[in-house]
């Protein structure tokens, strides 16, 4: 009926009716999951952990790793529980000594001015936080009360040290400094010094420097060993180079870090046609160094999937000299431009260097050819007619 009214073409209706409903339909493969996200978080979920008690053996690290609401809840409850516990102990001491019965107790109580559980709770707070208001104090009548006073002070100091240290470590965690270490959104592959290179840009937004900063890069992909073992996350280290050479970088201004794709590189057989979101390839970049102001080691991470690698692109310059100093334009941090690049793998380029020579010759002739065409099409501003010559 729909085909008669012209809403759906008849050829489409016949084709759909000819399909077998029982035949499975195959959908396009979705984009592969990241091992490391763009902001550096590891995309790994830990499940079925049977030995949960191992986390309690390192209580301090467990408290630091907790989220802020959980940490603040534990911080509050640790003090409240200790105050209530020792308040009960002080109330029992006063009850056993007969200090709670009005007119029936001894002349000298164990703790002065304790008449109920509320007053015992207030005295517990005063002892643990070392606030003395002068109304309640321990006397020498009961040696047990002096012992409890010593124990509560020690317990209070331990709770203060652990919880305040936990709060300090959470506020001064190293990954907070990594928030100002930025990487380019895309990586590029282009020719540099006659070789195909994988390049990315890294920068630091703060004036305080990262000391002894180093760059590491890994390629993560699914592989199968010759014995048939499937390795879902096979990590291969590849060397990175920078403009000054060596592994340590001087990150006072944004730098372009590059990796030469040679015979020892896992990207040796990577072609432009492989840079799509179905390709099982992820390149992880790790920047590690010491924070100058705090001395804490920090680490910033990012990753590039296959479709985030641009072939035949180069980063634009962003550092310029102005008024006697160098200025950095971060608005162009991730901008790239197209450059002549062979559309072949690094292996093919090494086997046939004429591809690079032809590309260099074509790029050298390109501007001259365009200029000659522009000159030929240009019209003169003045024209002399034959009549004016007569």
In sequence order, the β-bridge partners of residue 202 are 183, 255
pLDDT at 315: 94
The answer on 164 and 102 residing in a single domain is: yes
* CATH of residue 83: 1.10.287.70
Out of 23-27, 84-88, 197-201, 302-306, pick the least confident: 23-27
* CATH of residue 263: 2.60.40.1400
The answer on 231 and 86 residing in a single domain is: no
The answer on 214 and 166 residing in a single domain is: no
Q: What are the pLDDT digits (tens) for 301-339?
A: 999 998 899 999 999 999 988 888 889 899 999 999 999
pLDDT at 136: 86
Q: What are the pLDDT digits (tens) for 144-164?
A: 999 999 999 999 999 999 898
In-domain check, residue 91: yes
The answer on 204 and 152 residing in a single domain is: no
In-domain check, residue 67: yes
The answer on 199 and 104 residing in a single domain is: no
Number of H-type helices and E-type strands within the chain? 10, 14
The beta strand positions in 83-186, using DSSP E, are: 181-183
Local confidence band at 382 (pLDDT 50, 70, 90 cut-offs):
very low
pLDDT at 377 over 60: no
Average pLDDT estimate for 334-348: 90
Q: What are the pLDDT digits (tens) for 349-358?
A: 888 877 777 6
Angle, CA of 192, 275 and 31, to the nearest 5° = 145
Structure letter (DSSP) for residue 60: H
**DSSP states of 206-242:** SSSPEEEEEEEEEEEEEEE-TTS-EEEEEEEEE--B-
- For residue 208, the enclosing domain spans 178-347
pLDDT at 375: 39
Please name which of 182, 210, 171 lies closest in space to residue 292, comparing C-alpha atoms.
210
In-domain check, residue 362: no
Backbone angles phi, psi at 246, to 5 degrees: 85, 175
What is the rounded CA–CA span in Å between residue 241 and residue 249? 9
Domain count, the chain: 2
The answer on 120 and 189 residing in a single domain is: no
pLDDT at 24 over 50: no
Distances (CA, A) of 40 to 67, 78, 185, 285: 18, 33, 13, 9
What is the rounded CA–CA span in Å between residue 50 and residue 47? 9
Instruction: Among 121, 144, 172, identify where a domain stops.
Output: 172
The answer on 184 and 83 residing in a single domain is: no
In-domain check, residue 361: no
The answer on 189 and 287 residing in a single domain is: yes
In-domain check, residue 246: yes
pLDDT at 237: 85
Local confidence band at 93 (pLDDT 50, 70, 90 cut-offs):
very high
The answer on 290 and 258 residing in a single domain is: yes
Mean pLDDT, rounded, of the chain: 79
The answer on 209 and 167 residing in a single domain is: no
In-domain check, residue 27: no
The answer on 273 and 217 residing in a single domain is: yes
pLDDT at 121 over 50: yes
In-domain check, residue 276: yes
Instruction: Among 137, 172, 207, identify where a domain stops.
Output: 172
The answer on 337 and 255 residing in a single domain is: yes
């Amino acid at each position: 009926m729909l085909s008669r009214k012209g809403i759906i073409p008849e050829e489409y209706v016949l084709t759909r009716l000819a399909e077998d409903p029982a035949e499975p339909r195959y959908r396009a493969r979705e984009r592969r999951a990241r091992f490391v996200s763009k902001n550096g978080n590891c995309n790994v979920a830990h499940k079925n952990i049977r030995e949960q008690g191992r986390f309690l053996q390192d209580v301090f690290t467990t408290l630091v790793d907790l989220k802020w609401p959980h940490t603040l809840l534990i911080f509050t409850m640790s003090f409240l529980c200790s105050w209530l516990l020792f308040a009960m102990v002080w109330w029992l001491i006063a009850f056993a000594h007969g200090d709670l019965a009005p007119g029936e107790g001894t002349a000298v109580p164990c703790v002065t001015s304790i008449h109920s559980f509320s007053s015992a709770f207030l005295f517990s707070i005063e002892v643990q936080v070392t606030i003395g208001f002068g109304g309640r104090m321990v006397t020498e009548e009961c040696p047990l009360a002096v012992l409890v006073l010593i124990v509560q002070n020690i317990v209070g100091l331990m709770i203060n040290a652990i919880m305040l240290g936990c709060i300090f470590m959470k506020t001064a965690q190293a990954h907070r400094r990594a928030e100002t270490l930025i990487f380019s959104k895309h990586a590029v592959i282009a020719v540099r010094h006659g070789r195909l290179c994988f390049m990315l840009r890294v920068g630091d937004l703060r004036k305080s420097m990262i000391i002894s900063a180093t760059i590491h890069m890994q390629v993560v992909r699914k592989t199968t060993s010759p014995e048939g073992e499937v390795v879902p996350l096979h990590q291969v280290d590849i060397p990175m180079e920078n403009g000054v050479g060596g592994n340590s970088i001087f990150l006072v201004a944004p730098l372009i870090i590059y990796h030469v794709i040679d015979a020892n590189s896992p990207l040796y057989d990577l072609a432009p046609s492989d840079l799509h979101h179905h390709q099982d390839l992820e390149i992880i970049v790790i920047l590690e160094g010491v924070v100058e102001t705090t001395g804490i080691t920090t680490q910033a991470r990012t990753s590039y999937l296959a479709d985030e690698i641009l072939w035949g692109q180069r980063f634009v310059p962003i550092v310029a000299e102005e008024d006697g100093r160098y200025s950095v334009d971060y608005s162009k941090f991730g901008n790239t431009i197209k450059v002549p690049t062979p559309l072949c793998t690094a292996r093919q380029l090494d086997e046939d260097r004429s591809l690079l020579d032809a590309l260099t010759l074509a790029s050298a002739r390109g501007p001259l050819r365009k200029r000659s065409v522009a000159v030929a099409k240009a019209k003169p501003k003045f024209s002399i007619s034959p009549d004016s010559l007569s």
